Amino acid sequence: MAIRVLLVDDQPLLRTGFRMILEAEADLAVVGEAGDGLQALEQVRALQPDVVLMDIRMPRMDGVEATRQITGPGRDGPAKVLVLTTFDLDEYVVEALRAGASGFLLKDAPAVELVQAIRVVAAGEAMLAPSITRRLLDKYAGRLPSGEEPLPQALGTLTEREVEVLKLVARGLSNAEIAAELFVSETTVKTHVGHVLTKLGLRDRVQAAVYAYESGLVRPGAS
């Protein structure tokens, strides 16, 4: 079964470019396009895509609110959202991740990265490139805890190993990379990640990474 993709961007030329890239892949199918957030909601309901490639800055309804409605309570389908950003201009990527996006990608990323990101998100994983994640969170460092505040009580529900896993997730490591780092199996890592998400009431790895920074557990720029 091909991965069904909905393209959401207010620039038709960009949508055309993305369509050409994606339709060259046998396992990807572009099922529709939208020029703003409201159209995106309509298309998600009508077409039931697996992945929504979502721009942030658009007329009528921006990508953050559209993402919130697509992935939030009472959503119409299982669509995952992959946010597209120009990075230097977009100021709302963190808000989009909080809203439920499964990751983000730079608009000038190579075609191979775009294709791989869609496959990763469709498989239920998070698209968290470490370099982009760190740059983004460094940019928002002024809004994050100073490190002097007490950690949230919810973190006390995690085991020592689960805290280790959460820190590595925040660094953007995949399950395989975390397994290698901790000398455990990928299955064990998946179990730990699942426990972290359940205990902290988080939707996915992206929200876990944002939580780790916002709680002060991990500091931008720290190794």
Beta bridge partners, 104, equal 83
Residues of the chain with pLDDT under 70: 73-77, 87-91, 126-151, 219-223
SS3 54: strand
126-145 tens-digit pLDDT:
666 555 566 666 655 555 54
Report d(CA 206, CA 216) in Å as an integer. 16
27-64 tens-digit pLDDT:
999 999 999 999 999 999 999 999 999 998 888 899 88
In degrees to the nearest 10, what's the CA dihedral of 101, 103, 34, 119? Answer: -120
For the full predicted model, state whether its pTM sits above 0.75: no
Would you state the structure tokens that stand for residue 160, as one six-digit string? 């020592």
How large is the angle between the packed helices 160-170 and 186-200, nearest 10 degrees?
90
Would you state the structure tokens that stand for residue 121, as one six-digit string? 């998100």
